[in-house]
Structure 1
Amino acid sequence: MDLSIIIVNFETFEMTKQTVESVLNQSHPFDYDIYVVDNASSDGSFESLQKTFFKESENGKIKFIQNPENKGFAQANNVAIKRANSDYVLLLNSDTQVVGDCLERSMHYMKNHPDTGVLGCKVLLPDGNLDKACRRSFPEFSVSFYRMTGLSKLFPKSERFGRYNLTYLDEDDTYEVDCVMGAFMLLRSSTIEKVGLLDEKFFMYGEDIDWCYRIKAAGWKIIYYSEAQIIHYKGSSNSKKQNKRMIHEFYRAMYIFYNKHYREDYPMITTLATYMGIWSICQFKLFKNYITR
């Protein structure tokens, strides 16, 4: 098999159905299969997906996996990665839609650039604007500081202050970055064999940044490839109902990533400042969410 596409479902039947169909409705010049991994949905969405794509399941095009409990996005993807037998693996969010020949272009780039370990495409929001999270720098102290203090928003075209989402770079160019987003990550299986699976300590945020960090450290390039596109219906999934949990996991991921990759490189005062910053902003976001509700 050339490509295995992994889509994680959690109570998002319509969105997941649309994502799968956006792949199936295109003609692809390579062999592929799709793994739909359900994270213990209780709304019947998994059964509905099995019924909808029964024919594709019977001929082996789609493989269904049902997790008995929800242990997070990273764990669900790892389950399918372990079963996949292909040269390339694509992580594709269940709230996305593949546009045109996105997969063909992406596969062609990977095959012609053997030093690329991960490729992320241009990710557009439904209104046509770029999902800024699709190309990023690693969240080292200075990058995160500029982001948290709002300097990155005040000076988006500054190479110094705009590093968080690389807003000073042209979104229509292709170039090497630190990391791309988990909504669309195309990897070589040989890369995964070398660096290992997604870190399951991350529940639903940060696992993509951590993976890119390890892959880049192993000598592979991380590429933002603007000539391939998907639409990301960000915030449209059922997980939006879990705002408090999402906020907690977002800042928990920051804590895990810092401890794993940066703690030993900074003095204690910087570490304490980082912890305080993460905790303070998390509490502010939780309070804001409570007031809004």
Structure 2
Amino acid sequence: MDCLASVYKSLTSFQYEIIVVDNASHDGSVEAIRGGYPDVRLIANRDNTGFAVANNQGMDIAKGRYILLLNSDTVVQTDILEVMIGFMDRHPEMGASGCKVILPDGSLDKACKRGFPTPSASFYYAFGISQMFPDRPKFNQYQLGHLSPDDEYPVDCLVGAFMLVRRETIDQVGGLDETFFMYGEDIDWCYRIKEAGWGIYYYPRTYIVHYKGASARRKPMKIIYEFHRAMWVFHRKHYAKRYGIFTNTAVWLGIALKFSLSLISNKLFRSGPQKKSASGHKAAVHETSSEVKT
């Protein structure tokens, strides 16, 4: 509800519509939206269909010339729609853009500006080498830690929590790949957008706060599984045919190893209670996807 409230406070010179897709939440969100925001176009799914399916549902009925994917666990600035739409209008070659994304503690959500997870980039990131050499471009191909978060520049991919996409771009490349359930679909979409010849840009002249459902240190098994499955799906779809058996085997083993380590680490917090995120959804297992169409 905080997300919707912040969107309605936006100062804009254009009209927009809001479409909310609720993935079978059980915290009263659907009733609250129907009662408090009757002009919102609400799709209430009976099952948790996943991020890609839910956002595609919203895009299918959208009428705007731009589509903004916006997570329910975010709060936007009053100028954000005006600033980001203005940027896209001035740069018709851009298929998608994203703003700075801040976590509740004031730190950067590093997913808001990324390179593609090539085998080498994934290796440096997954095993901490990028953290050991934060200023070296070679080792920071994925999270681009060597680039200032306060500067603007083209990037490979953005985060699905806030992604502004041009209608013509979606018409050309299609929607999110529903093979992905709740991770990786934003990277895959950006990959296809760039393959089609469109630019993608990080524009930190405004920002959102992303609560990320991450206050629970222990994560449900579903989240851990889907996070690592997304790595496998993305590599199989875009990179497996480019590399030989040695590299592909190393990637599969790396994913398996990281999955195993994540399970072990997660068990250490078994006795700790889960806390709810600011949006009231536990660790994004059931999450309401909001989309703004301008």
8 A Cα contact 2:10 2:77, kept in partner? no
C-alpha displacement at 1:242, in angstroms? 5.1
Q: Partners in 1 of 2:36 and 2:221 — Cα distance?
A: 32
Within 5 A, what are the aligned runs for 1:188-203?
188-203=166-181
Structure 2 counterpart of 1:148, from 126, 129, 150 = 126
Question: Which residue of the partner structure matches residue 71 of structure 2?
Answer: 93
CA contact (8 A) 2:68 2:165 kept: yes
> Displacement, 1:246?
0.6
Corresponding residue of 1:251: 228
| 1:74 and 1:200 in contact (8 A); partners too | yes
Q: Which residue of 1 aligns with 2:3?
A: 19
The one-letter code of the counterpart of 1:243 is: P
Establish whether residue 277 from structure 1 lines up as the match of residue 261 from structure 2: no
Contact 1:118/1:185 (8 A) holds in 2: yes
The C-alpha deviation readout for 1:147-181, integer Å capped at 9, x for no partner, is: 12211001111111122110101111110000010
- Among 49, 52, 69, the residue aligned to 2:33: 49
Aligned to 1:72: 50
Deviation, 1:241, is 7.4
Conservation of the 8 A alpha-carbon contact between 1:124 and 1:232: yes
Q: Is the 8 A contact 1:174 1:223 kept in 2?
A: yes
Equivalent in the alignment of 1:179: 157
Structure 2: unaligned runs, 5 residues or longer: 271-294
Match of 2:106 in 1: 128
After superposition, give the CA deviation of every residue in 1:228-262 in whole Å (9 maximum; x if it has no partner).
Answer: 2111112358x987521111100000000000000
2:24 aligned partner: 40
Q: 2:148 aligns with which of 170, 176, 193?
A: 170
Q: Distance in 2 between matches of 1:240 and 1:39?
A: 23
Report the TM-score when normalising by structure 2: 0.89
Q: Tell me which moved more, 113-122 or 63-72.
A: 63-72
Q: Which residue of 1 aligns with 2:93?
A: 115
Query: What CA distance in whole angstroms lies between the structure 2 residues aligned with 1:127 and 1:67?
Result: 32
Q: Which residue of 1 aligns with 2:186?
A: 208
Q: Give the total of aligned pairs.
A: 270
Q: Give 1:287's aligned residue.
A: 264
Give 1 or 2: higher helix fraction.
1
Flag the 1:219–1:204 CA change in 2: closer, same or farther, 3 A: same
RCO comparison, higher one (Cα < 8 Å, 6+): 2
1:51 CA displacement: 1.2
Gaps of 5+ in 1: 1-16
Corresponding residue for 1:262? 239
User: Percent of aligned pairs with the same residue?
Assistant: 49
Taking the aligned partners of 2:208 and 2:125, their CA distance within structure 1 comes to 26
**Any conservation in 2 of the 1:90–1:184 contact (CA below 8 Å)?**
yes
What SS does the corresponding residue of 2:201 show, helix, strand or coil?
strand
Alpha-carbon separation, structure 1, partners of 2:127 and 2:218: 28
User: 2 CA distance for matches of 1:37 and 1:118?
Assistant: 21
When the two structures are superposed, what TM-score results if normalisation uses the length of structure 1?
0.89
Distance 2:4 2:41 in 1: 12
Alpha-carbon displacement from aligned partner over 1:111-131 (angstroms, at most 9, x marks no partner): 000000010101011122111
1:292 partner SS: coil
C-alpha RMSD of the superposition? 1.4
Q: Aligned pair 1:84/2:80, yes or no?
A: no
